[in-house]
Amino acid sequence: MVDLRSDTVTKPTPGMLEAMFCAKVGDDVYGEDPTANRLEEKVAKLLGKEASVFVPSGTMANQLCLRAHTKPGDEVIVERASHIFNDESGAAAALSGVQLHPLRGERGILYPEQVGRAIRNRGDYHLPPTRLICLENTHNRGGGAIYPPKAVREISQIARKYHLFLHMDGARLLNATIALRIDPIEYSQYVDSVILCLSKGLGAPVGSMVAGTKELIERVRRFRKMYGGGMRQIGFLAAAGIYALDHHVERLAEDHKKAARLAEALNEIPGIQIETQKIETNILYFRVKKERWTAYRVVEGLKKRGILVLLMEDSLIRAVTHLDVSKEDIENTISVFQEILS
């Protein structure tokens, strides 16, 4: 089975499992887990922040940041196709009591001028006060689109001008930095909070990180406990994260190459519509434009032949490359596509 539904399906490598098995642990809620503490110090340094904290998932990481930055009744600027707006079960309203203000970006990317126009006039009490701006990098529904560092810097300047907070959903941040060959700090220096998922392309089984100032992370820890995310001997999971950061970052470039190869091959198959020039990282979206063939039929046909992809809304099909998909798997996938659509 070749599973291209998401990079969340990765399983720990033998080296990662050994690191997990050998981890030294303690009670993390008491701050006594040495491996968790080491991971948090490592991520804070990587992102150029004062502190970081381990949380169970990317969704919780985002929601903790929303809660820490806002008050009920505030408004948060997000992109219309973002994970926070579409894929977190309405948590912003339920958990933080905030209103999301969605803007339509270009492949998920917001630009400074549209963000500036969306900020509410605080002199009008009819309007909810804008408190936070959220960016997603890379952008999932934007096809793994990379946020231009210049745009992040300029949006940060707008946030400072209006005394707003800026958050980055960096679930796949390292895919962006590897593709651009830049240091993660080139992004994180401009934001007040940033998350990083360990369980996607990095291959850890569980976990995400939140990084920011010491004061922010103390607030996040409190809300993590409130939301049920305060775990105990998490060193076994933290060890997986440390291993991933030590061994699986540079190899993200391989996933990008595999995605590009798949996209180029799909572009040559009659009946598939894909914009190869927009494949920047490890995520690609495409459509089926062939008489009597629906996206659903293609997805089911692939599944019967051992290839899993994800059917999205509006008949889009998503494929994501990762460390559990080899070059041979990609070539096999191409062959199956050619067979089905011949």
The CATH classification number of 251-341 equals 3.90.1150.10
C-alpha gyration radius of the chain:
20
Distances (CA, A) of 178 to 44, 187, 303: 18, 12, 31
How far, in Å, CA of 48 to CA of 40, rounded? 12
Average pLDDT of span 219-245? 97
- Answer for the pair 219, 3: CB distance below 8 angstroms, yes or no: no
How far, in Å, CA of 219 to CA of 263, rounded? 43
- Give residue 78's pLDDT: 98
pTM of this structure: 0.96
* Amino acid at site 176: A
Q: Which residues pair with 133 in a beta bridge?
A: 77, 166
Q: What percent of the chain has pLDDT over 90?
A: 96
pLDDT in tens, 55-65: 999 999 999 99
- Answer for the pair 79, 136: CB distance below 8 angstroms, yes or no: yes
- Give residue 293's pLDDT: 85
pLDDT band at 291 (very low <50, low <70, confident <90, very high): confident
Average pLDDT, the chain: 97
Per-residue pLDDT at 342 exceeds 90: no
Residues in the chain: 342
- Give residue 307's pLDDT: 98
- Give residue 314's pLDDT: 81
Q: Give the chain as a 3 state SS string.
A: CEECCCHHHCCCCHHHHHHHHCCCCCCHHHCCCHHHHHHHHHHHHHHCCCEEEEECCHHHHHHHHHHHHCCCCCEEEEECCCHHHHCCCCHHHHHHCCEEEEECCECCECCHHHHHHHCCCCCCCCCCCEEEEEEECCECCCCCECCCHHHHHHHHHHHHHCCCEEEEECCCHHHHHHHHCCCCHHHHCCCCEEEEECCCCCCCCCCEEEEECHHHHHHHHHHHHHCCCCCCCCHHHHHHHHHHHHHCCCCHHHHHHHHHHHHHHHHCCCCEECCHHHCCCCEEEEEECECCECHHHHHHHHHHCCEECEECHHHCEEEECCCCCCHHHHHHHHHHHHHHHC
- Give residue 290's pLDDT: 80
Distances (CA, A) of 291 to 271, 295, 299: 8, 11, 16
Distances (CA, A) of 214 to 26, 50, 68, 186, 256: 22, 6, 12, 20, 34
How far, in Å, CA of 324 to CA of 11, rounded? 7
Domain residue extents for the chain = 12-247, 251-341
- Answer for the pair 179, 281: CB distance below 8 angstroms, yes or no: yes
How far, in Å, CA of 176 to CA of 80, rounded? 20
* Amino acid at site 172: R
pLDDT band at 45 (very low <50, low <70, confident <90, very high): very high
- Give residue 323's pLDDT: 97
pLDDT band at 313 (very low <50, low <70, confident <90, very high): confident
* Amino acid at site 120: R
90 φ/ψ sector (left φ>0, alpha ψ -120 to 50, else beta): left
279 φ/ψ sector (left φ>0, alpha ψ -120 to 50, else beta): beta
- Give residue 315's pLDDT: 87
pLDDT band at 276 (very low <50, low <70, confident <90, very high): very high
Closest CA to 88 of 60, 54, 64: 60
pLDDT in tens, 99-142: 999 999 999 999 999 999 999 998 899 999 999 999 999 999 99
Structure tokens at 288: 């089926």
pLDDT in tens, 134-152: 999 999 999 999 999 999 9
- What is the architecture of the domain spanning 12-247? 3-Layer(aba) Sandwich (3.40)
- Answer for the pair 202, 245: CB distance below 8 angstroms, yes or no: yes
